[in-house]
Amino acid sequence: MTARGILRFVSAGGFFLLFPGFVIYHYLVSASLIPPLLGGLFGPICLLLAIVYLLLLPLNLRDLMRASSLYTVTVFFFIFYVLLITTAHYASSTLDFIQMAGQQSFGVIVFWIALFFLGFYLPQESRLLRFGSFLAAATITIFLIHYVATSGSVFFYAAELYGVEEGVATYQGFARSSLGLWALLVVTARSELYRWGMVVSGIFVLFVLGARSELFAFMALTLLLMLAIGMRSAKALFFAVVASGVIVFLVIGNLDALMESRQLQILDLRASSSWNAREVLEHEAWAVIQEHPIWGSFGSHVTRGSIGSYAHNYLSAWENYGLIGVTTYLMLTIVACVVGAYRCFGGGRYSTLWLFSFVVNTICLILVIVSKPVFWPLVAFGWGLHAKAVGEAQEEAKSRIRPQVQPSVEVPAGHSLVEAQPPQ
C-alpha cells in the first residue's frame, strides 16, 4: 500500500471513530456497557491521528505540494502563528490562568492538525465509508426513535439517562459528531430520495440530541441546498418539498412537546438562561478586545471563571490571538464558502468533494459567527476538505493544458521525412 493509500485508510478509520464512533462510544459508556478506557475519545483519537499524519508527512509531500495553493499555505501559517503565540505565553509565564489557557490552546492545535489532514485525505467517495456511515446513522436514528416513543421525551441526554455522568460527553459533543456524520451522508447521496431522507433523519437526530445551534445551522444549509439543487432538477425539487412537508407534519403533530424544548427557546432568547450567560461572556470579551485590539490578551477568558468562560463566537479568537489571528481564522472559512458556492452553483458541473467542502464550511461559518468559539475544532475539517478540492482542481487544470506528446514517426531507410507523412 502506498503512503497515500495508508493515509486514506487512516482518515476513513479516523472519521468513523470521531463521528459515528464517538456517539456510539459515549452511549455505551453512559449505559455502563463499556468502561471509559479512551477518556472522551475525541482528544486521544485526534492526538493519535496528528502523530500518524506528521510521521507520514515526509512520505506524502507530493500531495501537499500539489495543493500548495495560497489557501493551504495560509492554513499552515495560521496554525504556526497560534502555536507561536501559545508557546511564547506558556513558556514566559507561570501564572495559573496562562498555563491553563496554554494547555487549552495546545489542545486545539492538535485538533486542527488532525482534522485538517483528516479532511485532506478522507476518501469521501469510498463505498465502504458511505455504507458504514449509513449503518451507523441508521442505528442512531432507530435508537432515538425508540427512545422518544418509549420515554415520551424529545430530549436525549446520555449523561443523565442511566445516572452515569463521569466520562460521558455532553449533548454538544454528541451534536458535533452527528453533524459531521450527517453532512457526509447528505452530500454523498446517490439519489434525491435518499438525500432528503438523510436530511429528515439528520434534523430529527440533532433535535433529539438537544443541539440548538447545530440544528439550525444544518436546517439553514438544507434550505440553501434545496434552492440550489432544486433549481437544476425538478426531481430534486419534488423530494425537497416532500421532505419539507414531512418535517412540518412532525412539528405540528408534536407542537406541545416541542414548545417545552430548549431548541424552541430561540423564539424567546431573553428567557434562555444559557443565551443570557453567553451574552455576558461576549460583552466581557469585547471589553478586553477594546483594550487590546491588535494583539488581544491571551488567556484572559480564564480569569472570568474557567477555561470555558470564553465568548461563544469568533470574538474568542480575537481575544486570545489578536487581530491577525481572528482575521485569518475567519477568512479561511469565508474563502472556502465563497469558492465552494461558486464551484457548486456557478452553473457548471461540480464534484462531490466541492459540495462536501461547501456544506461543511458553510455550517462552520454560521456557527463560528453565532455560537462556537475558536476552540471548536470542526472548522479545520472544512479547511482540509477545501484544500483537497483546490489541489484536485489545480491538478485537473494542469492535465487539460499539458501539451500532448506527438508520437514519433519512423522513417524507413532511403525515404525523406516528407515522404513518410500520411497523405493529406
- The pTM assigned to this predicted structure is 0.87
User: What dihedral do alpha carbons 163, 166, 170, 175 form, nearest 10°?
Assistant: -100
pLDDT of residue 99: 95
pLDDT of residue 13: 96
The set of long-range contacts for 279-288, using a CB threshold of 8 Å and a minimum separation of 24, is 281/309, 281/310, 281/311, 281/312, 282/311, 282/312, 282/313, 282/315, 284/311, 285/310, 285/311, 285/315, 285/316, 285/318, 285/319, 286/311, 286/315, 288/319
Burial class (CB in 10 A: 0-12, 13-18, 19+), 246: middle
- The overall average pLDDT reported for the chain is 84
Place of cell 500520411: 422
CA angle 308, 310, 312 (to 5 degrees): 105
Which range among 6-10, 241-245, 350-354 has the greatest average pLDDT? 6-10
Q: What is the pLDDT of residues 131-152, one digit of tens each?
A: 999 999 999 999 999 998 998 8
Q: Mean pLDDT over residues 290-314, rounded?
A: 93
Q: What is the pLDDT of residues 255-279, one digit of tens each?
A: 455 545 555 555 444 555 666 778 8
Q: Which residue has the higher pLDDT, 195 or 357?
A: 357
DSSP letters, 171-211, are HHHHHHHHHHHHHHHHHT-SSHHHHHHHHHHHHHHHHHTT-
The answer, yes or no, to whether residue 329 has pLDDT greater than 50, is: yes
The answer, yes or no, to whether residue 364 has pLDDT greater than 50, is: yes
Residues 198 and 137: their CA atoms lie apart, in Å, by 9
Q: What is the pLDDT of residues 41-96, one digit of tens each?
A: 999 999 999 999 999 888 777 767 766 688 999 999 999 999 999 999 999 999 99
pLDDT of residue 246: 66
Q: Which residues contact 57 (CB under 8 A, 6 or more apart)?
A: 64
CB atoms under 10 Å from CB of 223, counted, come to 12
